[in-house]
């Protein structure tokens, strides 16, 4: 029995060391945001400042349109999530429960778009969006982010698994396709929609390359692009950068802590069910 205990103890020690490595950057981000300038590069490193400085957080809001950036990000990520889940549910329902010629071909065409990584089309997509006159508008941030075969694929898998009887009763009662979709299908897909919602929202909140390309007006920037410019070009003090960084990250961390199981669900479903 002693051997078993030793094994367990070793396992917990290893897990704890890894956990410390994983938590350290987040801790360091926060603690550096409240350090006075003299502590920033102090040797040996300061793990908790003697006199914490809370002013960096306020400075970020004074120097930058930080609140506006947060709003932009929440608005864009939120809109994409809501609209995408709605259109993906419709597509997935069509591809799984409705019968018409060409359905399988459409499914193959939609799935094949998964092969096209975003960075392979960033130049033509930019040209296209510029032709529409969308550069430096919310449209450029939102509309191209909506269509996404990944969400359609996952929802279709889910709908295929719904027993036929659930619909049949409604069909006998003379319910239309639309009624069935809105009254029966959407309500029972709440758990999977919640899982995808968390996934989509975080992915869009953290999106960087596309917003970097299509937005250069300061007031329309999304938070990632905003802080990237703040840290890079102006050589700002590290305390301020870490404060901005921490606040940009905080919403996603809070969402993660409370809705982690939804994120796990959506990731688990993503690859494993053929």
Which residues, 46 to 65, sit near another protein by CB under 8 A? Answer: none
Among 51, 54, 117, 173, binds another protein (CB under 8 A): 117
**Alpha helices, DSSP H only, in 34-143?**
37-40, 55-63, 66-97, 103-112, 122-131, 138-142
13 touches another protein (CB under 8 A):
no
Cα atoms in the Cβ-side hemisphere of radius 13 Å centred on 226: 27
144 touches another protein (CB under 8 A):
yes
82 touches another protein (CB under 8 A):
no
Site for another protein in 186-225 (CB under 8 A): 202, 205-206, 208-209, 212-213, 224
Tokens of 165: 């009887």
Which of 188, 120, 108, 98 has its CA nearest to residue 153? Answer: 108
183 touches another protein (CB under 8 A):
no
Which of 243, 249, 211, 215 has its CA nearest to residue 230? Answer: 243
What's the per-residue H, E or C state across 19-57? HHHHHHHHHHHHHHHCCCHHHHCCCCCCCCCCCCCCHHH
- For another protein, the closer of residues 54 and 131 by Cβ is 131
Among 87, 136, 137, 157, binds another protein (CB under 8 A): 87
Closest distance to another protein from the beta carbon of 163 (Å): 19
In the chain, how long is the greatest CA-to-CA distance? Answer: 77
* Region binding another protein by CB under 8 A among candidate stretches 28-36, 61-69, 156-164, 189-197: 28-36
Site for another protein in 157-176 (CB under 8 A): 171, 176
Over the Cα atoms of the chain, what is R_g? 24
* Region binding another protein by CB under 8 A among candidate stretches 15-23, 50-58, 63-71, 159-167: 15-23
């Amino acid at each position: 029995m002693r051997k078993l205990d030793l094994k367990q103890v070793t396992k917990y020690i290893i897990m704890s060391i890894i956990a410390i490595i994983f938590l350290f950057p987040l801790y360091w981000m926060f603690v550096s945001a409240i350090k006075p300038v003299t502590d920033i590069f102090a040797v040996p490193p300061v793990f908790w400042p003697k006199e914490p400085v809370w002013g960096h957080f306020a400075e970020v809001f004074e120097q930058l349109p930080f609140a506006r950036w947060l709003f932009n990000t929440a608005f864009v990520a939120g809109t994409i999530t809501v609209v995408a889940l709605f259109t993906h549910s419709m597509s997935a329902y069509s591809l799984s429960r409705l019968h018409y010629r060409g359905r399988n071909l459409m499914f193959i065409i939609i799935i094949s778009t998964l092969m096209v990584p975003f960075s392979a089309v960033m130049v033509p997509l930019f040209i296209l969006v510029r032709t529409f006159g969308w550069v430096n508008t919310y449209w450029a941030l939102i509309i191209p982010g909506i269509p996404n075969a990944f969400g359609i694929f996952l929802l279709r898998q889910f709908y295929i698994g719904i027993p036929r009887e659930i619909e049949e009763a409604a069909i006998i009662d003379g319910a239309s396709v639309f009624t069935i979709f809105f009254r029966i299908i959407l309500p029972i897909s709440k758990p999977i929609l919640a899982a995808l919602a968390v996934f989509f929202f975080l992915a869009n909140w953290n999106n960087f390359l596309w917003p970097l390309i299509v937005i250069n007006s300061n007031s329309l920037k999304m938070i990632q692009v905003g802080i990237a410019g703040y840290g890079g070009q102006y050589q700002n003090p590290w305390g301020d950068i870490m404060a901005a960084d921490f606040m940009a990250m905080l919403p996603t961390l809070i969402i993660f802590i409370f809705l982690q199981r939804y994120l796990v669900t959506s990731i688990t479903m993503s690859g494993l069910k053929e």
